[in-house]
Structure 1
Amino acid sequence: MRKRRTRYSERNTRYHSRKGQTFQQIILSIVALFLVVIFLVVLCTDPMGNNGSVPPESVMAAKDADETADSNVSQSDESVSDTASADGLDQTSDGQTDSTASSSDWRLLLVNSTHPIADDYSIDLTELRNGQSVDSRILTDLQEMFDAARSEDIYPIVSDAYRTREEQQALMDDTIQNYEDEGYSAEEATSKAEQVIAKPGTSEHETGLAIDIAGDEDYGQDTDSVLAWMNDNAYKYGFVLRYPSGKESVTGAAAEDDHYRYVGKEAAKVMHDKGICLEEYLSQNN
């Protein structure tokens, strides 16, 4: 009788032991499964494993592309150079990085006799088909403007554009010499030259944002018709007449009817609608 009880007790003990082990295995399996689920959730939420602090590579690439899009588009489009070759550069004040400028927007940077261009100013230029060069950032709007003009049988060209400081100095020297040849003293010749030619370092020609406009002789286009079209339409494409008649005391420069400056479409529309020049626009908006 004792032996039977002992065997029954041993079987019962083994049964409960196995039952306890099975229960522990179930608990461990549940815990392991829970941890796996948490890991998967974290991994899917932040595949880079750093709480998303670094953007995906595709996002960074897109940002870089945006920053260089203007230059790449303008330089790769052959028709742009063909069209812009009719455009010209005068003395405009957009896009300089002068420490005295009243705006950080490159399109609105003021360059004149009291706001010289910084010595370390740099520019990405695109050469037009006729050898003139402009700031690459304005080329898309310049092309759009010329296409619009040509669609109305108006054929403009850029007759002058970017100048180096050395070229601006040479222009000043030649102008002074011309006045001296006419009989003016050196002092008088210099004074008269500075009334029509910007001193080196204060010319918008050195920014690549200014163009002088003329009629394309290859199409028998007269300049007066081109300038009339520009006066009515240039602002739609971000360009304004930089030195309008009646604003000499504000701009500090003689009026020029062929000198256009890129300021961007928004600012150009305001300046056109209000009949104000760049200096006045900056004064009202800063």
Structure 2
Amino acid sequence: MPQPPATDAALHALLLALADDELIAGHRASEWTGVAPFLEEDVAFSSIAQDEVGHAALLYRLLADLGHGGGDPDALAFGRGPEAFRNAVLLEAPNGDWAAEIARHFLYSEYEAVIWPALANSPYAPLAAAAARIAREEAYHRAHFRQWVVALGRAGGEARDRLRRALARALPLAAGFFEPLEDEDRAAYWRGITLAELEARWRAEVDQVLKQAGLAEDGSDGSDRRRGPGTEPGDAGPGSAGGFAGPGAATSEGAPVPQATDGKVAGPPAGAAEGGGPGAGRPGFGGRRGQHSPALAQLLEEMTSVYRSEPGAAW
């Protein structure tokens, strides 16, 4: 028989990772308000940010109900340091150019498209109910970013090249979505799906969209056989305005680009056994175990400033 949820550390770790992903992704999306390429995208990103933060609040409430944060969801969201966060590192990187943001949110929305339906079957009823609601709302985000990827890919020229390079930088770091949690076997029970199954479904969905966008046939899905990211003329490379920083401020520069086979997106580089330590051979690892880039500390400093200005205040 499963342990009571109130004392199950694996369930708590799963909820925390889910909530932190949503909060950090939502905050980064909110930063596009007022600076998106055109008005409709200002509205779209504002709506997406509001949804993600709302989902985070729902998940933090589940954790608070289990006794975390003294029963206060705000304390969970705003009262922790970066080392206590369990979000995937891809989500915390400073915003890059438009192609970089489309790449990041596309990969995350495809991850959400597979994890929330699985969680809707979780044996923990409150999580299953929350996941069913979140899955319905996330479907709109997925459609939005799929449309952008296909449009940019089919546009050709600079639009396609920028997106291709952005995907080359983001894809290795997307491995962090599938970093094993502590007591991963137990977490998989509450998740209702193993990480291997989750990653396989995610990769299949990503492959499908990149083929529709015309980004798979020549390795332009970020798995270019001929060149690593950041080696083309005019490409500023990872860590630039269009790049993504990983744990310890290291970028994906120098990390092997996932090799494509049969026109498909390959998985992140092998070399770590499932359940290995943070960063064990796969770019993007570390976030699920509390290792983050300096960007997260900077983000939290800004995000929590109002909360910290009035300790103990009711918001």
TM-score, with length taken from structure 1: 0.26
Structure that is richer in strand per residue: 1
Max radius of gyration: which structure? 1
TM-score, with length taken from structure 2: 0.24
